[in-house]
Copies of this chain bind each other. A is one copy, B any other.
Amino acid sequence: MSSTNRKLYGYAGRILRINLSTRRIKVEEVNEKLARMYLGGRGFNIAKLYDEVDPSVDPLSPENKLMIATGPIPGTGFPLGARLNVSAKSPQTGILGDSNVGGHYAAEMKYAGFDQIIIEGRSSRPVYIYICNGEVEIRDAEGIWGLTISKTYDALRRELRDPGVQIAAIGPAAENMVKFSGIFFNRVRPAARTGLGVVMASKNLKAIVVKGDGFIEVAKPVLFEKIVDEIELEVYTHEQYWPRRIMGTSRILLAANKIGVLPGKHFTEPVLPLQYAFEISGEKLALKYNVKNRACFSCIVPCSRVFVVKNRENAFLSEGPEYEALAGMTVRIGNNDLEKALRAIELINDLGLDVISTSEVISWAMELYSNGQLTRNDTDGLELEWGNMNAVFELIMKIAYRRGFGELLADGVVEAAEKIGKGRDIAFHVKKLEMIQADPRGLKGYGLGFAVSSRGADHLRSEPFIELMDNAELGAKMFGEPESTLRLGVRGKGKLVAYYENICALVDSLGVCKNLAENMNILNYEKISKLIESVTGLELTPLEVEEIGERVVNLERAYNAREGINKTHDVLPTRFLKEPLKKGPSAGHVVELEDMLKEYYKAREWNPDTGLPTIEKLEKLGLYKVVKDLYGIVKSASFFEINKSSRSERG
């Protein structure tokens, strides 16, 4: 640690850099400046990515870098603090690739000695990385290349003779360069959005295994314990605690049906008969299939569920599913058979695909099939009727192995539509990332969030949870606009989305679960400021804390701007802008995107004509290099020098 730095508590303190081309391993220290500006996790990743991976880099080339970073919170025992971020330039979207997972990896990685792992270059043959208590090995993976996720896990645990290792692995889909392949942690917890598994595969890297006996010291244990007690009390007494504990996000299916925002049959049927909705719901899972709850490391909301399916065709035990998978393999593709959905999800996970994008390419094909634009001649004979799960099982295999009709879908919905010259208008994506399982016509803040998100059509950049439950009072209090927290409201959504983007960037940088910030709405900048102080010893005002979130969002926007993104890309598919929902409690609504966007740019203090951060905003956030990149203006020293001040080499 550099002598100019105070001791930084909360962190493992080191960044691991592995070049698979040269097999050189470097260790850098986490310095106070980097911590103060970016905290960790998503912040660390975008800081490095902006600095090191620019528009000249082909995402599948050795020059792309895969970064795994966690924040100061995981491993401290803080509840709901077990997250990490994976980032790279995305081969799926061409812009920022970024995904966030919970589980047990983040804490183990810190106990093994590292806050961030950066993978560079490309191995000449399949390898995996084994990191144990600060030691790093690059090991042969010829024998496990090609294996599914679960088999990879089994093989690695056997080979390392240690069932307790934490594993991040890719499956056959990534190896086959399916653009929407993920990296799987704890077997069923994927960093699956934006195709990061493909980046890993392109480096001939099958897995990164971590194991550690270290521990993480917090700066002010008494204050920390007090904060933990307060947060735990708020969590345990939160009205959403028990439904979340019992069903996790799977309970959203029924809730989304109630307000008519389901993605039924590729966003043509927002509402289901209650009986149908119940039969595929988290409630049904809890009543019939779940056998046990499971929590992330040190979490007090065990929102994941181990379940068992037993029927004549198949019997298996697995974990999950989250709402996105559940809705994706049921209502989005017109399927009402829960057990088949669970099997499809299991297959998707085991092959290493992103279930959201998979559900889009399949439901997109089904919509084209339903109106005759695709026929059995196009689909290798598959009858892609809504809900035909036998066809879906086959199609998932075809996609993962790029076989026949699967090859068309394996590059994502945008390229599929381009290739066949059909269905461009119903390719539901933003910035080439396929849309999640919520119809923004009935959740307008989500709609705005999809349009502006730094990784494309995804909710987790800003998720104002079901628009904070239609509570006008809350909106008036938080944003001076009662409509802002009504799901069908428009005014105030710019402020709402900007606020939750900032706080989500912040918790992603801390390594904390979003449930604590936006779903339960328990965190605010004052509490986070105290938490950071108690863990790291860094004294940051609530305003400075807020600025970290804002800095991350602005830097991500700048990263994408450098790749050519601007206001013209902040859009939604036409269906959501022009075709009012036909049925249910949100009937008649479209997304009033233009109005919300104007307000959003204003709330962000961005240039309303370009949709880009202004020079003033960037300078205020200390992003001087961005000013130079976007506006050609050089001012003072680059903040990126902080990344270079304290590198040390290591064997």
Contacts and interface: CB of A to CB of B under 8 A. Distances in A.
Contacts of A242: 242-243, 246-247, 283, 286
A634 interface: no
A277 to B, nearest CB: 8
A272 to B, nearest CB: 11
A286 B237 CA distance: 12
A233 interface: yes
A152 interface: no
A283 B241 contact: yes
A48 to B, nearest CB: 41
Given A236-B283, A242-B286, A246-B246, 19 more contacts: A233-B274, A233-B275, A233-B278, A236-B278, A236-B284, A236-B287, A237-B254, A237-B274, A237-B277, A237-B278, A237-B281, A237-B283, A241-B283, A242-B242, A242-B243, A242-B246, A242-B247, A242-B283, A243-B243
A274 B237 CA distance: 8
Contacts of A246: 242, 246
Interface string A463-474: 000000000000
20 contacts: A233-B274, A233-B278, A236-B278, A236-B283, A236-B284, A237-B254, A237-B274, A237-B277, A237-B278, A237-B281, A237-B283, A241-B283, A242-B242, A242-B243, A242-B246, A242-B247, A242-B283, A242-B286, A243-B243, A246-B246
Copies of this protein, total: 2
Contacts of A243: 242-243
Interface in A226-267: 233, 236-237, 241-243, 246-247, 254
Nearest to A283: B236
A280 to B, nearest CB: 12
Nearest to A238: B283
Q: 8 shortest A-B CB distances, which residue pairs?
A: A242-B243, A242-B246, A237-B278, A236-B283, A242-B242, A237-B254, A233-B278, A233-B275
A336 to B, nearest CB: 14
A79 to B, nearest CB: 13
A242 B281 CA distance: 14
Residue with the greatest number of chain B CB neighbours at <10 A, chosen from A237, A241, A246: A237
Nearest to A246: B242
Contacts of A275: 233
Nearest to A240: B243
Contacts of A236: 278, 283-284, 287
Interface string A127-150: 000000000000000000000000
A241 B236 CA distance: 18
Nearest to A241: B283
Nearest to A279: B233
Interface in A272-296: 274-275, 277-278, 281, 283-284, 286-287
A236 B287 CA distance: 9
Contacts of A278: 233, 236-237
A644 to B, nearest CB: 48
A237 B247 CA distance: 13
A226 to B, nearest CB: 12
Nearest to A232: B278
Interface string A580-601: 0000000000000000000000
Contacts of A274: 233, 237
A174 to B, nearest CB: 37
Contacts of A287: 236
A472 to B, nearest CB: 13
Nearest to A255: B239
A237 B251 CA distance: 10
Nearest to A234: B274
A295 to B, nearest CB: 13
A275 B231 CA distance: 11
Contacts of A237: 254, 274, 277-278, 281, 283
Contacts of A254: 237
A277 B286 CA distance: 28
Nearest to A282: B242
A440 to B, nearest CB: 24
A247 B254 CA distance: 21
A281 B241 CA distance: 14
Nearest to A277: B237
Contacts of A281: 237
Contacts of A241: 283
A338 to B, nearest CB: 14
A402 to B, nearest CB: 41
A116 B286 CA distance: 39
Nearest to A244: B242
A347 B375 CA distance: 74
Contacts of A286: 242
A137 to B, nearest CB: 42
A236 B284 CA distance: 8
A278 B247 CA distance: 22
A230 to B, nearest CB: 9
